Amino acid sequence: MDDEPIELIIDGIQVSAVHDATILEVAKQYGIYIPTLCDLEGLTSFSGCRLCLVEIRGSPKLYPACTTPVTSGMEIITNSEKLKEYRKICLSLLLSERTHVCSVCIANNNCELQDLSNKLGVDHVSFERNWTKHTIDSGHDFLVIDRNRCILCTRCIRVCQEIEGAHTLDLKNRGKDSQITIDFDALWGDSCSCTACRKCAKVCPTGAIYIEDELISKTKDKNVVSFLLKRRMYK
């Protein structure tokens, strides 16, 4: 029974999917665009950014596409006016939460947050902006973390734990005060577990983690995860 494909409808298109597939995976397979920010192929999804929210007919709730498995007969809407508006609000909240100034940011023109804002039409932030003044940790030989530009997507934490296996990075505090922490709240330069593999900088969607003195366009490579997994023949 489980081997039989599941039939469902996404944006009016009849699609079929395997069991345990998520809405996002199926949509990608059929070339249907759902915006994402925290999701990265090869890492565990955790539906943190809320940009991939979709509507399922018959339910008043919105569902994150990256973690919701498909079921038979589902009718999914990925691009309604309501969703467009919600996504814009999500992005505006992300932009207002910390200090995001594209013009002087190292990741200008190489930033997923910026690209998505342009794509979804977020040309201004209507919420009061929370200009954070977190200290920048540049004590490492070449890795720098600027928590003012972090959107808490946790890609760095997941890549460090799941791919590198070092688990140097983690989260501390709660809510808007959450911060990426290194070891037990150590400075990066003093970390005993960091292997300096640079994967965190490669997958960071903004300019929060970067390599000092290297062009960000050279550093960024979010395909590094799927590339490594393929090489290790996990999938």
Partner 1 sequence: MNEQIIIKPISRIEGHANIIINLNEDDSVIDARFQVTDFRGFEKISEGRPYYEMPRITSRVCGICHVSHLLASSKACDQIIGVRPPTTAIKLRRLIHIGQFIQSHALNLFYLSFPDLLFGMDSNPAERNFFGLIKQHPDIAKYGIKLRKFGQEIIQILAGKRIHSSDWVLPGGVKAPPEKEKISYLLLEADKALEITQRTLMVFKDWLQNLEEEITFFGNFPSYYMGLVTSKGELEHYDGKIRIIDSKGKIVADQLDPNNYTAFLGEATETWSYMKFPYYKQAGYPKGIYRVGPLARLNIICHCGTPLADRELEGFKSFGKNGVVQSTFLYHLARLIELLFCIEKAQILLADPDIYSEYVRAKAAVNYKEGIGVIEAPRGTLIHHYNVDKEGILKSTNMIIASEHNNLAYNRAITQVAKKYVIKKQLTEGMLNRVEAVIRAFDPCLSCATHALGKMALDIRLINFRGKLIDRVIRGEKGCFKCNSEPELLVLNYGDPT
Residues at the site binding partner 1, with contacts judged by CB under 8 A:
103-104, 106, 133, 135-136, 138-139, 144, 212-213, 215
Burial label, 181 (beta-carbon count in 10 A; 0-12, 13-18, 19+): middle
Q: Among residues 130 and 135, whose Cβ is nearest to partner 1?
A: 135
Q: Among residues 13 and 196, whose Cβ is nearest to partner 1?
A: 196
- Least distance CB 142 / partner 1 (angstroms): 9
Q: Among residues 48 and 139, whose Cβ is nearest to partner 1?
A: 139
Q: Among residues 13 and 215, whose Cβ is nearest to partner 1?
A: 215
- Least distance CB 214 / partner 1 (angstroms): 11
Is the CB of residue 11 less than 8 Å from the CB of residue 28?
no
- Least distance CB 132 / partner 1 (angstroms): 10
- Least distance CB 209 / partner 1 (angstroms): 13
Q: Which residues have a Cβ under 8 Å from the Cβ of 153 and sit 6 or more positions away?
A: 37, 38, 48, 49, 205
Give the β-pairing of 143-146 and 169-172.
Answer: unpaired
| Dihedral sign from CA coordinates of 39, 45, 49, 55 | positive
The 3-state DSSP class for residue 110 equals: coil
Nearest CA among 83, 86, 82 for reference residue 27: 83
Q: Among residues 1 and 104, whose Cβ is nearest to partner 1?
A: 104
- Least distance CB 151 / partner 1 (angstroms): 19
The 3-state DSSP class for residue 107 equals: coil
| Dihedral sign from CA coordinates of 196, 147, 157, 87 | negative
Q: Among residues 133 and 232, whose Cβ is nearest to partner 1?
A: 133
Buried b (16+ CB within 10 A) or exposed e, 133-166: eeeebbebeebbbbbbbbbbbbbbbbbbbebbeb
- Least distance CB 56 / partner 1 (angstroms): 45
